[in-house]
Amino acid sequence: MSWRADVLTLFPAMFPGPLGESLAGKALRDGTWSLTVTDIRDFGLGRHRAVDDTPFGGGAGMVLRADVLDAAIASVERGQRPLIFLTPRGRPLTQARARELSAGPGVVLVCGRFEGFDQRVIDAQGAEELSIGDYVLSGGELPALVLLDSVIRLLPGVMGSEASGIEESHAASLLEYPHFTRPATWQGRDVPEVLTSGNHAAIAKWRLAQSRAVTQARRPDLYAHYVASQGLTP
């Protein structure tokens, strides 16, 4: 059985978007994963298919209605798949969560617009809220595409080499080491000598040292997690 993704959105034409290309696109055509897109506006109210209303308590913008969202969600056969709302206030999407999702049967994603969702439908559905970063976008469609890409590439057989999913940034709470390829000398810059030595133990040691150094410099929060997880001294 393929890994199943359902996406609920006001802009169904945005899918599969880039997921129809490259490895994800090939996996979609091969049936490794499937995608169904539901237009939330199909469940809108009245002649104009209204999906939003003004917020209680005042404030700018509009809020997606709980009754409309609930009807859209009810139209999807969810099964054991987690229901995820893409919101700026959600927990950060991590590589670990992507791996957990790739090991399951799929996901049901809800993409917001305007000022967001009526909180009652999130609470009533026991849904998870995820964010792809500390910034605000126009809607949840791009975060949904990011989440799907992060998961689909981890599905069995999607990447050409299983090692590609292991030796990469965030796989072990470290950012990835730098990469080099031909030519060995470019604009006066040489490839590090250790990488051409053929000494695999030395190469592995160099790569780990590079990963630790770049993580400590760029993501001290991530490095602190790595140090704690390995029982190391900072």
For residue range 147-206, what is the model confidence (pLDDT) as tens digits? 999 999 999 999 975 545 555 656 678 999 999 999 999 999 999 999 999 999 999 999
Contact assessment for residue 177 and residue 211, using Cβ atoms and an 8 Å cutoff: yes
pLDDT at residue number 106: 98
Average pLDDT for the chain: 94
Name the region of 46 (left: φ>0; alpha: ψ -120 to 50; beta: rest): left
Tell me, yes or no, whether 27 lies in a domain. yes
CATH assignment of the domain containing 43:
3.40.1280.10
Contact assessment for residue 132 and residue 93, using Cβ atoms and an 8 Å cutoff: yes
Provide the residue range defining the domain that includes 22.
Answer: 3-152
Identify the domain boundary among 113, 129, 152. Answer: 152
Instruction: Provide the residue type at 199 as one letter.
Output: N
Tell me, yes or no, whether 116 lies in a domain. yes
For residues 34 and 195, give the distance between their C-alpha atoms in angstroms, rounded to a whole number.
40
**Exposed, middle or buried by CB within 10 Å (0-12, 13-18, 19+), for 166?**
exposed
Q: Check: pTM over 0.95? Answer yes or no.
A: no
User: Are both 178 and 147 inside the same structural domain?
Assistant: no
DSSP structural state of residue 50:
B
User: Are both 144 and 171 inside the same structural domain?
Assistant: no
pLDDT at residue number 14: 98
Task: Report how many domains make up the chain.
Answer: 2
User: Are both 45 and 148 inside the same structural domain?
Assistant: yes
Q: Among 203, 132, 217, which residue's Cα sits nearest to residue 174?
A: 217
Tell me, yes or no, whether 159 lies in a domain. no
Contact assessment for residue 117 and residue 139, using Cβ atoms and an 8 Å cutoff: no
User: Are both 72 and 111 inside the same structural domain?
Assistant: yes
pLDDT at residue number 163: 47
CATH assignment of the domain containing 179:
1.10.1270.20
